[in-house]
């Protein structure tokens, strides 16, 4: 009996090695976990990456500062707007360019819509992973309405490429405001339905409560960010601490929970959705008139130096680091993606738990594999 | 005390399941609220949004004239090398030599619909079309020539 990579599948200590993935329905993509099991108890986990590596960082080195942004839509495909915004903000930082107020507000609205639809998809997939198919369809119903906003204004549903250095690519569609308001009313009415169908459910509570505990200290030392860290009580919302775009003009709460288990992570995301709706409602009536894009030169050249900008994606902190040598394309680009750091904390969360709980933990970290492995 | 807790848990559990089933039951009896788009069957009525990015096309007017001057701004703007413009020298009526496009090659198989070429075009020669059914039997068919045969540059476009 030989394992896939030439090791015995039974170790000397009597532990059983299995490979979960790369094709596994609950890993949401090509994540490969090598798991050491004692009976049904997880002893050790080793994530293996590389199955969906497209070398986006290396590719960007040969593209101009306008062109490299499109590839980031394919990193975290559920948060393309936020990824594009992060790149655009970094280039603007290098150019010391002031973005028109209108573009800032529209960027913020679209980012929050992205967060809403991403959390809705996560909510549906969590239900699916835990054995309930119904939530998936309920989540997609409201998500589809947001997707239509994106489709009408940006022309695409997932890979929008709408944020460009200097602002947004073209002005919003005339129907934008009306459609967003309608969708917000629709979604607000459905939160109660979400809670009825999943949050209070006894099966869900039994599967999530006390499972996959992550302490505040571990969250900090592993660099965990986003709702996963906030559920452990770690305050890390960049929208609050380092506001970018129009986040300094809106009132919202940073959602914190002290539970640290899967249920806390679930509740943090559910409450964050309501905050996103509140942010959008504050901004949608106050989109200032004016230019939607600042004037930029035909060929953008960043001055020599290093530029870093971080934003809060639905999954955590995305950092874009550009090293420029003064040429028309970046010398080096590094993305600090939220999924990679969050995945690194998975082994300590799942250690000592059952293999069935591992699926629940993976669901509540909200992994997007192309984001982990760029 | 133990019994009270035991039955209390059962009561709460059954109640939470019933609340969930109530939502399902509501939609089971309200068929009009179900939203399903039956895609291949609704082809006749399906209309994409005006801005939907399906593929790059070059509009021609009734005289078979386009607006592309062959400046290659789109070729430079494209991140993937999707567009290749082959130009030729044309002798105009007044004897001057001018650069005109010979073929505008567009490779749909490389295109990511990022819209950068359309934004970069100074003379609005290319636009995004709403067609999204791109599957073909041979991948050679995905390499398209956008300018019509014998098409001319529209008068007044420089």
Max distance between CA atoms of chain A, in angstroms, equals: 70
Domain boundaries, chain A: 1-51, 56-372
Pick B17's closest partner by Cβ from A148, A193, A201: A201
B39 CA to chain A: closest CA distance, Å? 14
Nearest-angstrom CA–CA distance, B74 and B106: 11
B144: which strand partners? B106
Average pLDDT over residues A4-32: 73
Cβ pair B35:A201 closer than 8 A = no
A329 falls in which pLDDT band (50, 70, 90)? Answer: confident
Burial-class residue A123 by CB neighbours within 10 Å (0-12, 13-18, 19+): buried
Q: Which residue carries 């308001």 as its tokens?
A: A181
Average pLDDT over residues B136-148: 87
Cβ pair B52:A151 closer than 8 A = yes
Is the model's pLDDT at B88 over the cut of 50? yes
* Closest-CA residue to A207 (of A132, A298, A299): A132
Backbone torsions φ then ψ of B44, nearest 5 degrees: -65, -35
Contact A228, A365 (CB under 8 A): yes
Average pLDDT over residues A89-114: 90
What are the tens digits of pLDDT across the range B59-69?
A: 888 888 888 88
Q: Name B88's Cβ contacts closer than 8 Å, sequence gap at least 6.
A: B99, B100, B101, B102
Interface mutation target, options B11, B13, B20, chain A, most CBs of A under 10 Å: B20
Helix, strand, or coil here: B49?
coil
Residues 323-352 of A with CB under 8 A from B: none
Backbone torsions φ then ψ of A263, nearest 5 degrees: -65, -35
Rounded alpha-carbon distances, angstroms, from residue B110 to A319, B87, B144, B145: 28, 21, 11, 14
What are the tens digits of pLDDT across the range A251-297?
A: 888 888 888 888 999 999 989 999 999 999 888 888 888 888 888 88
Cβ pair A173:B51 closer than 8 A = yes
Nearest-angstrom CA–CA distance, A162 and A131: 36
Give alpha helix (H) positions in chain A.
56-60, 69-72, 80-95, 101-129, 134-154, 176-194, 202-208, 216-221, 227-230, 238-241, 262-284, 338-344, 346-350, 355-365, 369-372
Cβ pair A156:B23 closer than 8 A = no
Say what the pLDDT of residue A8 is: 65
Annotation: CATH topology of A56-372: Cytochrome-c3 Hydrogenase; chain B (1.10.645)
Say what the pLDDT of residue A26 is: 67
* Closest-CA residue to A348 (of A224, A249, A240, A230): A224
Cβ pair A173:B22 closer than 8 A = no
Is the model's pLDDT at A245 over the cut of 80? yes
Q: Which residue carries 């629940």 as its tokens?
A: A360
Cβ pair B16:A156 closer than 8 A = no
Cβ pair B79:A67 closer than 8 A = yes
What are the tens digits of pLDDT across the range A70-81?
A: 888 888 888 888
A153 CB neighbours in chain B (<8 A) are: 51
Average pLDDT over chain B, rounded to an integer = 85
Strands (E), chain B: 55-57, 65-66, 83-91, 97-107, 127-129, 143-145, 152-153
A308 falls in which pLDDT band (50, 70, 90)? Answer: very high
Say what the pLDDT of residue A5 is: 54
Nearest-angstrom CA–CA distance, A369 and A349: 18
Contact A100, A291 (CB under 8 A): yes
Nearest chain A residue (CA) to B115: A161
B148 CA to chain A: closest CA distance, Å? 26
Average pLDDT over chain A, rounded to an integer = 86
Contact A343, A365 (CB under 8 A): yes
- The DSSP call for residue A261 is S
Task: Please indicate if any CB of chain A lies within 8 Å of the CB of B32.
Answer: no
What share of chain A in percent tops pLDDT 70? Answer: 97
Nearest-angstrom CA–CA distance, A77 and A369: 10
Burial-class residue A271 by CB neighbours within 10 Å (0-12, 13-18, 19+): middle
Pick B19's closest partner by Cβ from A67, A70, A200: A200
Burial-class residue A125 by CB neighbours within 10 Å (0-12, 13-18, 19+): middle
Task: Please indicate if any CB of chain A lies within 8 Å of the CB of B75.
Answer: no
Nearest-angstrom CA–CA distance, A170 and A168: 6
A1 falls in which pLDDT band (50, 70, 90)? Answer: very low
What are the tens digits of pLDDT across the range A187-234?
A: 888 888 888 888 888 888 888 888 888 888 888 999 899 899 998 888
Domain boundaries, chain B: 2-35, 55-153
3-state class percentages of chain B: helix first, strand second, coil last, to nearest 5: 30, 20, 50
Say what the pLDDT of residue B137 is: 92
Gyration radius of chain A over CA positions: 21
B77 CB neighbours in chain A (<8 A) are: 66-67
A66 CB neighbours in chain B (<8 A) are: 77, 116
Contact A46, A18 (CB under 8 A): no
Rounded alpha-carbon distances, angstroms, from residue A361 to A126, A132, A236: 10, 16, 20
Nearest chain A residue (CA) to B36: A141
The CATH classification of domain B55-153, taken from the options 3.30.56.10, 3.40.50.1000, 3.30.70.3270, 3.40.50.280: 3.30.70.3270
B92 CA to chain A: closest CA distance, Å? 30
Average pLDDT over residues A341-362: 88
Pick B53's closest partner by Cβ from A134, A155, A173: A155
Pick A161's closest partner by Cβ from B12, B51, B114: B114
A154 CB neighbours in chain B (<8 A) are: 51
Pair of tokens at residue A92? 């603007």
């Amino acid at each position: 009996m030989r394992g896939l990579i030439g090791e015995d599948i039974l170790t000397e200590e009597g532990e059983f090695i299995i490979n979960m993935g790369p094709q596994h329905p609950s890993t949401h993509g090509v994540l490969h976990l090598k798991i050491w099991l004692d009976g049904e108890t997880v002893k050790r986990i080793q994530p293996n990456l590389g199955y969906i590596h497209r070398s986006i960082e290396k590719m960007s080195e040969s593209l101009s500062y306008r062109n490299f942004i499109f590839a980031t839509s394919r990193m975290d495909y559920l948060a393309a707007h936020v990824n594009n915004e992060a790149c655009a903000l970094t280039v603007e930082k290098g150019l010391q360019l002031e973005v028109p107020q209108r573009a800032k507000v529209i960027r913020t609205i679209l980012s929050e819509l992205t967060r809403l639809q991403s959390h809705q998809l996560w909510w549906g997939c969590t239900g699916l992973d835990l054995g309930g198919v119904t939530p998936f369809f309920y989540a997609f119903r409201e998500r589809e309405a947001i997707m239509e906003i994106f489709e009408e204004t940006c022309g695409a549903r997932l890979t929008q490429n709408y944020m460009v250095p200097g602002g947004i690519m073209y002005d919003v569609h005339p129907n934008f405001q009306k459609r967003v308001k309608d969708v917000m009313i629709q979604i607000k009415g459905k939160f109660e339905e979400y809670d009825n169908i999943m949050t209070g459910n006894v099966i869900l509570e039994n599967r999530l409560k006390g499972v996959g505990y992550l302490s505040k200290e571990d969250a900090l030392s592993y660099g965990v960010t986003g709702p996963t860290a906030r559920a452990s009580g770690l305050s890390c919302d960049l929208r609050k601490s380092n506001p970018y775009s129009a986040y300094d003009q809106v009132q919202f709460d940073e959602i914190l929970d002290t539970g640290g288990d899967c249920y806390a992570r679930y509740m943090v995301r559910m409450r964050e959705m309501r905050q996103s709706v509140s942010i959008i409602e504050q901004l949608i009536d106050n989109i200032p008139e004016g230019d939607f894009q600042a004037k930029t030169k035909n060929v953008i050249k960043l001055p020599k130096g290093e530029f870093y900008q971080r934003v809060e994606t639905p999954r955590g902190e995305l950092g874009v680091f550009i090293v420029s040598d003064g040429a028309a394309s970046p010398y080096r680009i590094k993305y600090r993606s939220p999924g990679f750091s969050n995945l690194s904390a998975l082994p300590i969360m799942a250690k000592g738990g059952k293999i069935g709980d591992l699926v629940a933990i993976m669901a509540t970290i909200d992994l997007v594999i192309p984001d982990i492995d760029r | 005390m133990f019994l009270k807790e035991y039955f209390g848990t059962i009561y709460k559990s059954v109640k939470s399941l019933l609340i969930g089933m109530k939502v399902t039951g509501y939609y089971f009896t309200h068929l009009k609220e179900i939203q399903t788009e039956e895609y291949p069957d609704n082809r006749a009525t399906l209309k994409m949004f005006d801005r939907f990015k399906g593929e790059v096309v070059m509009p021609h007017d009734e005289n078979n004239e386009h607006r592309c001057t062959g400046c290659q701004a789109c070729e430079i703007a494209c991140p993937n090398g999707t567009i290749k413009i082959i130009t030729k020298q044309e002798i105009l009526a007044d004897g001057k030599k001018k650069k005109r496009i010979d073929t505008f090659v567009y490779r749909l198989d490389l295109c990511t619909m990022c819209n950068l070429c359309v934004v970069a075009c100074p003379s609005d020669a290319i636009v995004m079309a709403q067609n999204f059914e791109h599957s073909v039997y041979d991948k050679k068919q995905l390499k398209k020539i956008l300018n019509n045969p014998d098409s001319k540059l529209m008068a007044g476009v420089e």
